[in-house]
Structure 1
Amino acid sequence: MWEEEIGGTGKKEERSGETEGTPEKTSVSDYRAESGRTGHTDARDERQYSAWESRYQRQPSPEPDNRTPWEEAPYRSRRRKRSGPLFLIIAVLLIVGISVFIRYSLVNGTPWQPYGSLPSLPFVTSPSSGQQEETTGQTTVERAPVGDGTTLTISSPPGKALTIQDVYREVSPSVVSIMGTLPDATAYGTGIIMSADGYVITNYHVIEGSSAVTVTLQDDEEFDAKLVGGDAQTDLAVLKIDSENLPAAKFGDSGALVVGDSVYAIGNPLGVELKGTLTDGIISAINRDIYVDGRTMTLLQTNAALNSGNSGGPLINVYGQIIGINTIKMSSYSSTIEGLGFAIPISSAKPIIDELIAKGYISGRSAIGITVSDLSDTAAAFYKNVRGAYVESVDTRSNAYKAGMRQGDIITVVNGVEIQSVDDLYAAKEDCGVGDTISVTVYRNGKYLDFEIVLMDASDLS
């Protein structure tokens, strides 16, 4: 029931069964009849009817809907038919996206780093691609002859320091650009001419995984380089180009450095477009232990600006002598970090370089024969929260392959030690030598498998 006062008569109409709608009055006469008034229509009636008509505007009643509940209007049916393919496409794209994301997470939970870049710590666990390679088998650059008796010579400093301009004029001709050809990318770095007959020193991570390497001199002359030898553990490599009378660099004693000594860096930050860039700074620390890829490297720390592309370039003293090989920069994705660069002391690099030139490899380095990476939290959840080192690849020549280890395995235990990361794996086998047997447990397809693996000499897999 609802009541509504009509016009100015004071009379109220009661309507039953209606909750909304319009009173059924279509003329002034109808209005007069209901209100009890008779006789002629006067101006008052006209005014009251007009007021009523404006308040109750007659609306046409909608056509009755005789469709059954499960029937839809034709236009709605057509919309559903058009949207079906769209939903299917979205579903397919979503599945593909999830698959790609899981695959990326399996490889590494850390952000991507460009090949050949100066590695950043502590957030990037590998110098090049985020993967940690235990063998050097993927580098297929043509090999150069070894054993010609060439060695790196370290000289005492001359009596007089040079100006920064003189340092640049003397050293920059000995600094070269390095370009490595990778399966799906190009690596850029810096190198140092060690001898007039074409030996060039650089970081191993600059040429790691390359099938060919090009060396470009300061005057833009290019050479196809051959690989004399490389060592991933010390991040050093020696190349050879076919040339004579090259401007060889001079090398100084890094052991004579003290904190506060002025130093300079020359290199190709961010690529060849900025080649020959000079930066300066000081020695910030000596014998700084930096944990890299499961091993400790003892390095020189400097605040001279180093960036991607400086890898393998020289750190120079005030006498124009090379006293370090730039290799690592500290950076963060969540905050700004500047002035934290690191270089391999030339005094500790010399025996490695000499052995690479003599034999092409460093002997006595034990290897499992696998490439591994850390599992991200997302990937660990995908594997029911299994933690360990994810096996990216297994060298088919290795004892690990012969024992049954395969790509996709997750190493969880080595010699009874639980493995949570790649660093744990390196630490677990750190004291094991060539020929030692290690016990390895892996997770594969919901099961745990045990292997006994005899460690090999890394040189046998290079």
Structure 2
Amino acid sequence: MLIDSKSLMRRSGAVALAALLAAGPAALIAPPALAAAGPPSVADLSAQLIDAVVNISTSQTVTADNGDNGDDDDAPPQQPMPKLPPGAPFEDFFNQFFNKDGKAPPAQPHKAEALGSGFVIDSSGIIVTNNHVIDGADDIEVNFNDGSKLKAKLIGRDKKVDVAVLKVDPPKPLKAVKFADSDKVRVGDWAMAIGNPFGLSSTVTLGIISARNRDINSGPYDNYLQTDAAINKGNSGGPLFDMDGDVIGINTAIISPTGGSIGLGFSVPAATVQPVIEQLEKYGETRRGWLGVKIQGVTDDIAESLGMDHAEGALIAGVDDKGPAKPAGLEPGDVIVKFDGHDIKEMRDLPRIVADTPVDKQVEVVILRKGQSLTKTVTVARLDEGDTVIKASAEPAVPPKPKTAKALGLEMSGLTKDLRDQFKLGSDAKGVLITKVDDGSPAEDKQVKPGDLILEVGQQAVSSPDDVTRRLDDLKKTGTKQALLLLSNAQGELHFVALALN
């Protein structure tokens, strides 16, 4: 028996519609099944973890100068007590606020309180939080999810990664959590934050990892995980968990024009804080590794001038005479592409990796020097936090009648006493002085300024304007398109600039 195909389609459609109507209205609007519509309920997971997350309450004594000591000329004028006849209706009222001399009594010290979050990493009572949560506190109290409270002692803290380690003495073992390998976290992974936003204890929020390796210019070791899990004031110091219940980061900062969460929260990765926490527990302070170099990023034009296939690594702009890099043979112009087995993909990778390296450890450093890959061995030293400026120390030869030259939009001169005084250069300054930078030139665009000194051109030292022009001519003959200049400012700070030769 033959059946018309159109009739069959109409009949099949009618049967399907009847089935949908029988299933109820929900079936008509239900979307197609998705392979992964989101995580299952995190109720069981949060219940397992919530007792390990604590509220950190701090207080500090704040004094205020009411201007009554007579020593502060900038203090606001003291308001005298109004003159009232004896027995006036408001006499007793004003006597509460003024002494017998008719002056307000000195302002009394008062307590300022703050709230944050933290979490237990050892059942014996070791707790981690942000440094800024406890900074300046006279008294630190830890409030647990069961309502109990314990006084905490500060073991150690580190401002640069914003972490602090506390110790409490619990009557029984505490619920503790452990760190995960945050280097394995991927963008799009689910993440859960637990903390005390605005003092609302034991608040759970859920989101994803929105980005990795975020630099928000808060410190030298910025490497944040970004999440859209709601993080607000009071969440600082609390944990960011993965779906296995392990800590992948410490919630530290938000970007918000309103002060509330807009989905831009930042956590210090576990891989960054773990070495610091271990040092704080062991020594009460951090002991960071130090290489003794000043570095800058490798831009596309700098990479081209160095003959590199692509921009990568950290370019050494200066080497400290007292640092471990110098005896190891590292030089300005070298590009560090690997340190102790870690790839240095960009400049800001190096400080963090060096800092995490144990002091006195011998490590291999792979560099690119004039197109050749070399491996050097460096013994990592301990960072002196106050040592930041590298200064040149060689004594220059000062020609009595300096020659001048112009190239690449720069007017250059040898050094004289008058020019040293004019540009406030020290007696130890060396190189070729830039006296003028043409308006609108590429050099001006790259922040080259009069008073800068040219130390090298194309990784060869120069000491006169003629040296500069000869070196530029040599580079042009080889077909080089970018001239790499090593510059120093009046403070002795070094940096590289690549300028087009055409």
Which protein has greater RCO, CA pairs closer than 8 Å, 6+ apart?
1
Q: Which has the higher helix share?
A: 1
Same fold (TM over 0.5): no
- Tell me which interval the TM-score lies in, with the shorter structure as reference length: 0.3 to 0.5
TM-score under structure 1 normalisation?
0.43
Structure (1 or 2) with the larger CA radius of gyration: 1
